[in-house]
Each structure stands twice: as C-alpha cells, then as structure tokens.
Amino acid sequence: MEFNNPAENNVFDRAKVIGQPLRRIDGPLKVSGTAPYAYERHDAVPGQAYGYPVGSAIAKGRITNIDTSAAEAAPGVLGIVTTLEHDPIENLWDYDPVRHFGGDEILHYHQAVAVVVAETFEQARAAANLLDITYERDESANFDLSKTPQASGDSDADPVQNVGDFESAFASAAVKLDQTYTTPAESHSMMEPHATIAAWDGDKVTLWTSNQMIEWGRQSIAKAFDIAPDNVRLDSPYLGGGFGAKLFVRSDAVMAGLAARKVGRPVKVTLPRPMVFNNTTHRGETIQHIRIGADENGKITAIGHHNATNALTAVGGENATLPIVAFYAGANRHIVNAPAKMHLPNSNAMRAPGETAGLMAFEIAMDEMAEKLGMDPVEFRIANDTQVDPGNPDVPFSDRHFVECLERGAETFGWSNRNTAPGATRDGAWMIGHGVAGAYRPAPVQKSGARVVLEPDGTLRVESDMTDIGTGSYTVMAQTAAEVMGLTIDDVSIDLGDSNYPVSAGSGGQWGAASATAGVYAACVALREQIAERLAVAEGDLTFEDGAVRHGDTSTPLSQIGKGEEIAAEDSIEFGDFRSKEALVSTFGAHFVEVAVHAHTGEIRIRRMLAVCDSGRILNPLTARSQVIGAMTMGVGGAIMEEMAVDHRHGFFVNHDLAGYEVPVHLDIPSQEVIFLETTDPYSTPLKAKGVGELGLCGVAAAIANGVYNATGVRVRDYPVTLDKIIGQLPAV
C-alpha cells in the first residue's frame, strides 16, 4: 500500500478499539517474569555454553600479543576467540560505522578484544581474567571536548542552517543573549544489558538477541559473517529497554556468533554493565554556544547556535542543533553542528537524539531571553511560535498546536500563581520554583509490513518483525488489526520480533508505533480485499464489525469465510515524499514543573510535573501515558543526576555501572500528569497518528533547570544541575 496523499475520513475516525486505554497484552508476561528475554532463552536451543567478553584496557593504540595459554588450561574452557584471529568487523550499518571486533588496532576503551567460552558462566569469567594482553598505547589520543577546536567555534563545519544575515541582525537587536551551555555524556542505562545466544546450523546462524531493529540487525550479521542475509535469523520478541543503544548490532552478537562457530556449540554472551557504558553507545557531550536577538516586543530576529560534540567517527555525536532549525520563528539564522573526532567510546542515538541535549540548552536560553525582555516565559514562547518551517517559509507545518500546549499547560498547572521573583517563595526550609520548557520532535515514518492470518475460528493472527521495547507495540498493533477487521482485541493474537516475519519499521526514532500500525492496516486491507473477492462484493461495500462482515442485508461471520482454512494476507505501507514536500510533520509539547531547593543544603527535589503533548491521534492513552511519564522520569535524571564522568587521562567513563551512575528511582518522582491534545494529522499516516515516546523527554531537563533558577536565583548552564553548583550562591539563610 502506498500512502501518497493526506489521509481522508476512514475507519479510524469512527474508532471503537483504537484510542481506548486498553492494558498491555504483554503485561501479564512481564509482571509474572515469564516473558522470555534474550539471555533467558534456555529452551531455544540445547547445549548452550557461556561466553565471557573481554574489553580493551586502553583507549587508543595496538595489541601486540594475547597469551591465552593460562586461560585455555582453566577448568571448563571450551575455546577462546581473540581479536587477533580476525580481520576487523566494522561498518556493519551506515549509521554505526564502528569496529565491533577484529584486528590489532584499539579505537576506544573496552573495545571487544576476546571472548572466552566455557561450560559455566563462572568458569568463563574466571578464565577471562587469566588472559595476558600486551598493549602499545598511543599517547596522542584526545578525550577532552573542551580542548578541541570545535569547542571554541574554530571548526570548518558547514552550517546546517544559514538563513538571512544573522551577524547583522544579532548586532542590531534591541535585546541580546550570548551564552554557552554544556551537557554531559549519558548512558542509556536500560535494565536488560545487551545479550545474544548464537547457534549455527551449517552456514546458517540464528541469534536470539536483544535488538530494536530486526532487519538492520539481520543485514549487519550477514555482513559480519560474510553470509547471505537469508541465512540469518534474528529473534527478539521482548526487550528490557533499549533507548537507542540497541538500534544496531553490538559486539555481544558478533562475539556470540564467532564463538559459536569456533566451538561448534550454541554460545550465549551478555555484556557486563561496564561494557554497556564503554563498549556500546552513549549520548555525546555537547558544548553549545547560543545567541538570540529580539526586538523590544519580544520577537526573535536572530538565532545563532553552534554545537560541539564528541564523535568516535565521522558519524555520531549529539547533534543538538536538530530542534533549533525548526522550533521557533526567527528570520535570520546561523546554526552549526561541529562533531569533534575523539577517542571516547562511540556516541550515537539515545532517546530523542539531538532534541534532548539541544532543548536542555535552548529552552534555558529562551527563559533567559524572557527575563531580559521582562516577559513571562510562556508568553515569550507563544510570541515566537511559527506555523511554517522557519528555514523554508514556503513549507507549513502539517499540524502544529504548540501554543495550545503552552496555554493548556499553563491553565492546568496554575502558572499564573507561580513564583514570579526568583528566590521569593518558601515552604519552610525549601525554596519553591516553577519552570517551563517547550518540546519539539519530528514525526518520521519508515516503510513497515505485516502478515495477518484469519484463522478458521474467526480470530486473527498478526506477524511482524516489529519489536516491543516496552513501548506497547503488541497492544497498539493488535488494536489496529481489531479495528480494521471488526474484532475485539481479545480476538487478535500477535507475534513480533522474528526476522522470519515481514519486515517492519522497527523501534526507534519515534517512528515505531505510527509506522508499524500503518503496516498492520495495509495488511488488513489486503485481507479485506481477499474476503471481498471470495464474497464477490466490492471491498468498499463491506462493513466489518462484531466478528462478522456485512454486505447489504447479509452478515457472514468471519469464521465462515475461509470454510475451515486459514486466509493469509501480507502487505507493507510505503510513505510517499509528499509528506516532506508539502509539509513539515512534527510533534510538540510543553513541560511544567515545580521544584524545591533546600535553603541550607542545596538539595533539589521535584514536586510535581505536567506534560501537554500534541502528537496526532493517540492510539492508546494508557500506553502513551506510560511512554511520556517514563520519558519525563528520564528527563529528571538528565537534569539533576546523570553524568558519565570522563577520565581525561585514560579515556573511559569512570562511573560505568548503576552504582556510580545515578538514575532516578521512585522516591525521586512525584506527581506526574500528562495531557494529550485531541488532534489528528492527515499527513502522518492513515491512522493520523504520530509518535510520542521521545517527545516526552524533550525539554524536561530545561524546565527543571528553569525551576531551580526560579527557586534560588542561581542560574546553572552546566548540566547536571547538582547541589555543588548552587550551594555557594544560595541566598543567605
């Protein structure tokens, strides 16, 4: 099915199942501990051995020797694979051109250099500690972003947006802001680490793994092992979180495959938590120089944004300019993204990549400009709304309700009663502050397919390689199928995450649910057409409801259509370029927070949070809310806790576990409220829905930082906003 024009009135505008707050159909498996995650697939294949990975102890240089003799003699050891045995396995996917294994060159700390295979996990781990690895360290490595030319703006990066005459407009602006903001490296910190079980059958390999994008992974594994993609099967029905770290194949999958092929048995490998931090991907650091100019009335006339970020290769880093090119009006714009090639581990996509760090900085800058202008921060944002792409004013937004998000949020939150003078409101020893920030994230889509099978009993089975990373894919895809075929969700079963099924969009980039449900819709339309052909009736003349198909005065139960046999249909949704040519399709939101800062200690506590989201049709308010409050929680971490500390001497992240890297826990999170505007976007998909899981994170950290300033009068531009950065400047007690 091709989606080449804006969606018209269709079945989803009369929805009975879509839009309902139904509980996740995979929920009972999750809470009972019976959902099978990758490392726990004990019954997937017999004879599983354990592989323990070894990471490099240096960040840049070469391995001159690996002595495996002691490890080979250790109890239970079945075999050892070292990096020196293989040519480099790298550039497996366009967006992830890093080395996963092979060769003597070390490009970053904890690069995978060996895997030891034994009968038990403990034996493999003990033997791994017996490897004697000799390195030749390269002392020329750079691990400090602040010491790169990009950090000072002296880079030759081309502007990502250059409109009008920024320098002249900024110089002549009545009110100006010129500040630098920094955000740290962050870890995805998902509960389930990267894990894979690999088994070979001749020249075919099956990987039971934890991966967000099954087809990307299948193609990557084929390239890694130099076999045909049809000889690769990936199976990943359940993931314990990913947040972008599992978009691409990682070294666990490569090592498991290499080890299984060498020892002739299935091998399972999971990355220890320090290797999740240093071997996989992370959110890159940023140093953002922001300049804003406005007239006396608060209209922005100039926006300048220079972003420096760390990248291991030419691809990567945290492109914090992504939201700035489109979010606010401003006729004169000069925006530059300048990745600095450094020898830290690879930085790549982490939930809302670009928008998260970019809005952490820019939404503070917007508050600082509002203060300079003497304007309310909400009113200043409203005054600079735009209904067209500010970099290309001939292109409108397809559907934009940012102002409504701000106004609805302000009314619900009680913004008019907020603390208006920094440091002026107290609750005992606590200083109370209120903060706001805007949220922006594009609404991309990907081609996505599915197979639907009408069973003889009238129930429906859906098959797709789509993944559920905790986002509710099982549920919203089942709701879609039920809606189109006139069934209840209990009449639909769904199988996901297997590369034997049709290729879907996969989970990432906030495109997953919108694309995958559209793919299910396409498959269901193909099934309806088959049913219409069997009934010798035009598909448009049929009505599917209550488990039956009605044509005229005749109603036929779906269980009778196949006359005792299955009826299968398969199709994909393909999105035409009209979306990008005719409109800019995006999502919008507003975050409001109340914070408390202890007047004696500087301790920061979040008291209440509100998010208002404009994200098209909400497929399931319950699962969508879960996505948004989870993202808001992630934003709390980014605002006041999370920072991967870089050892600038040796090039690694020091706090590379969940003991030293702090993330929010339940006691850190107060009341959270989410409001979804009742909007639909015909340019998005046939369902008129857009993603929301990343939008909920965008701007949260800045709202908190703005609230801390409002509470204390202390402005922190260096994340995370921790008590040590404010305590020396707090008002006298």
pLDDT tens-place string over residues 309-352: 999 987 789 999 999 999 999 999 999 999 999 999 999 999 99
> Can you give the pLDDT at residue 398?
98
Other beta carbons less than 10 A from residue 147's beta carbon: 12
φ/ψ (deg, to 5) at 181: -125, 145
DSSP line for 229-244:
GGGEEEE-S--S--TT
Contact 127, 319 (CB under 8 A): no
CATH of domain 395-443+585-729: 3.30.365.10
Q: Which two tokens stand for residue 732?
A: 């006298």
Confidence tier at 499 by pLDDT (50, 70, 90): very high
Percent of the chain with pLDDT strictly greater than 90 = 98
Specify the pLDDT at position 269. Answer: 98
Calculate the average pLDDT of the chain: 97
Residues catalogued as catalytic = 694
Q: Give, in order, the Cα–Cα distances in Å from 614 to each of 472, 507, 690.
A: 19, 21, 9
Rounded CA-CA distance 55/192 in Å is 19
CA pair distance 302, 297, nearest whole angstrom: 14
Percent of the chain with pLDDT over 70: 100
pLDDT the model gives residue 135: 98
Same CATH fold, 395-443+585-729 and 2-35+445-578? yes
The one-letter amino acid at 21: P
pLDDT at residue 270, rounded to an integer: 98
Q: What is the pLDDT of residues 95-139, one digit of tens each?
A: 888 999 999 999 999 999 999 999 999 999 999 999 999 999 999
Residues ≥6 apart with Cβ < 8 Å to 211: 217, 234, 236, 239, 246, 249, 253, 467
Measured CA to CA, the distance from residue 626 to residue 634 in angstroms comes to 12
Domain ranges of the chain: 2-35+445-578, 395-443+585-729
Q: Is omega for the bond preceding 720 within 30 degrees of 0, making it cis?
A: yes
* Phi, psi dihedrals of residue 609, rounded to the nearest 5°: -140, 145
3-class DSSP string for 598-610: ECCCCCEEEEEEE
Please give the Cα distance from 109 to 382 (Å, whole number): 46
Q: 2-35+445-578: which CATH topology?
A: Aldehyde Oxidoreductase; domain 4 (3.30.365)
In this prediction, residue 68 has a pLDDT band, given cuts at 50, 70 and 90, of very high
Encode pLDDT of 717-733 as tens digits: 999 999 999 999 998 87
Q: Is the pLDDT of residue 641 over 90?
A: yes
What is the sign of the dihedral through the CA atoms of 526, 531, 536 and 539?
Answer: negative
**Nearest residue to 4 via CA among 685, 607, 487:** 685
Token pair of 45 as six digits: 């294949």
pLDDT for res 648 = 96
Would the pLDDT of 416 be above 80? yes
Rounded distance between C-alpha atoms, residue 51 and residue 67, angstroms: 18
- Answer yes or no: are the C-beta atoms of 682 and 583 closer than 8 Å: no
For residue 683, name the pLDDT band (cuts at 50, 70, 90): very high
Looking at residue 533, its pLDDT comes to 97
Average pLDDT in the 358-377 region?
98
The whole-model pTM stands at 0.98
CA angle centred on 243, ends 239 and 246, rounded to 5°: 60
Q: Residues 365, 304: contact at Cβ < 8 Å? A: no
DSSP assigned state of 11: G
